[in-house]
Structure formats: structure tokens, C-alpha cells
A and B are shown apart, each in its own frame.
Chain A
């Protein structure tokens, strides 16, 4: 017993030492700031996007949406128990997928456009083939012991999921089995995003930490702290060298992966609502952040200033997404509508 206590004390001391070492190493490279680098950059001015489409069809709160890689189709999920696949150019609904469980929290479109995935309080990630005559369940990925908060396809044969059980997971869709389990968060995982080169992904969790993972080895490579509440949303900056997080602490942050620290924060004393979702414009200059205050606020990522707002929803903005071609931004809300802006 005494030997174990001694070992525990030694390990704890080593942990404290390593944490101090990491903080010192971060401080040592902290020789500047985004404000300093972006000082000479011209301001973007007021960004005024117009509402182009109001997509009506869901009968209850929308919890998630995801653009197809073709930048035209989009899938949305609502607790009315349906996934709807939209043609955003015409505003028409192409397909409705009835869900076994109405308590959906996440939805994803496969890059091929052949599959969509959804999941929620049922703890299961269900993958559907939407190219069949009528949507057909391809796989039910059932191993998480907590709710499914987010999922993203790598291809038609692999998908990564994030769960309230604090883990993320890489699944083989051909066998329906877990390939890699990513364990290190100590709070519910709320969101994930794939790196542009698809070798890594980032996760945000209720432990207020963001983590960078190596997909193949399953290791957590870096951990980013600073938020003081749950991280609900996370996205990669288009170069792949930085990440943006949105939190219940009402702020967004940009962390640079190579400097291993926060480089700028996005907060405003007038904004007292939690951030639910984040998406970036193609150059990374504009951040679209959905908030509990029913708006999607637009931030200049370099200068840290609010440069616009997308107003119109009558309830919390729960999801935001910019398509691959960067031609617009979609907001989804608890008011049951999706809006397209550009």
C-alpha cells in the first residue's frame, strides 16, 4: 500500500512537472500575437449577406446540418424524426429519411453523396444509402455508451463519431466494427472536424478542451485549453494549421497547431449567449458562429472584430455550414427553418 502511494505521488509530481514544462514551452514561443501580425491588414468592412432561401419542411427543432461535397445538396436533421436532403439551388426536398429514433443530434453527408449518417440519444450512428429507390439502412454502428453528438465520413467505408461517452471512434463501415477508439477527454465529446489532409481530426468536449488526434494511431497529439465551459463546435482553418472552437463560455478561439496555443479570441461583452456552431469562409477570413441568441455572428478571424450578423431565426441557431465552393452559408435553427445566405 505504501509503495503504491509512493508511486502515485511520484507520478502526480511528474504530471505537474510536465504540465509546467508545456506551459513554459508555449510561453517561450509566445513572441507575438495575431493582433500584431494583422495590424497592417485592411479591415473587411461591414459584411452584409442577404437571405436567399428559407427552407421550410421540418416540424420541430433542427439540431444539425451538413453540406454535400457537391456544394448543392445538403442534409438536415430534426427532432421531428426526419432527415431531409435538400437541393439548395431550387429549395426542393429531394429525399426524406425517417429515423428509428427521433432524438437526433448529428448528421453527416459522405463525400461520395451516396450515404448519410445520423445519431443522437439512441447512442447509435445509423448509416443510410440514399441512392437506393428509397433510403435504406446500411449499418447501425452500436458501441458507444453515450449519445452521438457528431459524425464525419472519411469515405464510404470509414466514419468517425464523437460521443457523450467521452470517446471518439473510427468505424469500418464494411464490418460495422470499431477500428480505433480515441480516449482522452474527460467530458462529453460534442463536436469533431476532419483535417484537410484527413490524417487527423480535432474534437471539442465538455471538459472545455480541444484535442488533435492522429486517425491511424489513435493517439492524442495535442490538447488545447483556455475555454471556461463546454466546447460545442470546432472547425479547421482551411490551411489545416489552425482550429476554431466555439463554447458555452460565449467565446470562440483560434488555436494554432504549430505554435500549440491560442493565438486570438473572439468575444464581446454584449454577447452573452453560448456558441453552438462555427463555420469558416474559404479563405478563413470570416468566421460564422451560431449563438443561443438566435443570431449567427460574423467575425473577422484576423482582427478579432465582429463584422456582421445573420438575423432572422426565431430561436437558437443550432448549426452552421459553408459548402466546399464557399458560395454561401447555411444556418439551421430550433425554429425548424434552415436559411441560406450570401
Chain B
């Protein structure tokens, strides 16, 4: 086993430890709080969600207007 391989593996392992230390230090909030916040966001923004509320034909940009006026 060459020295290079061994030192490479060491560097990789050291990086892995550094990364895991960083991820372990994350400040976590309670799942119940997180879920409540997500739920509240959905409910508070429901009226601003056209796909949820439905779009009246007159306001629908993808639907051609029903009547066609020819002058």
C-alpha cells in the first residue's frame, strides 16, 4: 500500500470529520414548532394561491377569451 493512498485516505477522513462536526453543530427547533410554522404559512397564503383557489375564466391567462369581437 503506497504512502500516497494512505495520506489521501487520511485527508478524506479528516474532511469527513470536519463536515460532520459542522452538521452536528446545527441549532435545531422542535418538529412540532416547524410543522406548525409550515402549516400556518400554507393557511395564511392560501388566498394568494390561484391553483388552490381556482381561477375565474375572465382572469385565466392560458384560456382564450370566450367571445371574439369582430369589427
Contacts and interface: CB of A to CB of B under 8 A. Distances in A.
Interface string A213-235: 00000011111000000000000
A14 B17 contact: yes
Interface in B24-66: 24, 26, 28-39, 41-43, 45-46, 48-52, 55, 60-63
B30 A53 contact: no
A28 B50 CA distance: 38
A325 B51 CA distance: 10
Contacts of B1: 1
B20 A31 contact: no
A89 B38 CA distance: 32
Contact of B42 (A15, A28, A260, A302): A302
A282 B46 CA distance: 8
Interface in A35-86: 36-38, 41, 44, 47, 49, 52-53, 72
Nearest to A41: B39
Contacts of B69: none
B31 A261 contact: yes
Contacts of A328: 50-51, 61-62
A259 B34 contact: yes
Nearest to A220: B19
B35 A256 contact: yes
B62 A32 contact: no
A130 B20 CA distance: 43
Nearest to A71: B61
Interface in A5-22: 7-8, 11-12, 14-15, 18-19, 21-22
Nearest to A28: B28
Contacts of A203: none
B42 A30 contact: no
B39 A37 contact: yes
B28 A29 contact: yes
Interface residues of B, number: 43
A17 to B, nearest CB: 9
Contact of B20 (A22, A32, A52, A256): A22
Contacts of B42: 41, 283-285, 301-302
Contact of B31 (A30, A184, A241): A30
Given A52-B60, A88-B62, A281-B52, A18 B45 contact: no
A319 interface: no
A41 B6 CA distance: 56
Contacts of A32: 30-32, 35
Contact of B38 (A18, A25, A242): A242
A11 B14 contact: yes
A304 to B, nearest CB: 12
B62 A342 contact: yes
A31 B32 contact: yes
B51 A329 contact: yes
Contacts of A334: none
A334 B37 CA distance: 38
Interface of A: 1, 4, 7-8, 11-12, 14-15, 18-19, 21-22, 25-26, 28-34, 36-38, 41, 44, 47, 49, 52-53, 72, 88-89, 184, 219-223, 237-239, 241-242, 254, 256, 258-261, 263, 281-286, 301-302, 322, 325-329, 340, 342
**Closest A-B pairs by Cβ, 7 of them:** A32-B32, A37-B35, A283-B49, A283-B45, A18-B20, A52-B62, A11-B13
21 contacts: A7-B10, A11-B10, A25-B28, A31-B31, A34-B35, A34-B39, A37-B36, A38-B39, A88-B62, A222-B26, A237-B38, A239-B37, A258-B28, A258-B29, A260-B28, A261-B28, A263-B35, A283-B42, A302-B38, A327-B55, A328-B51
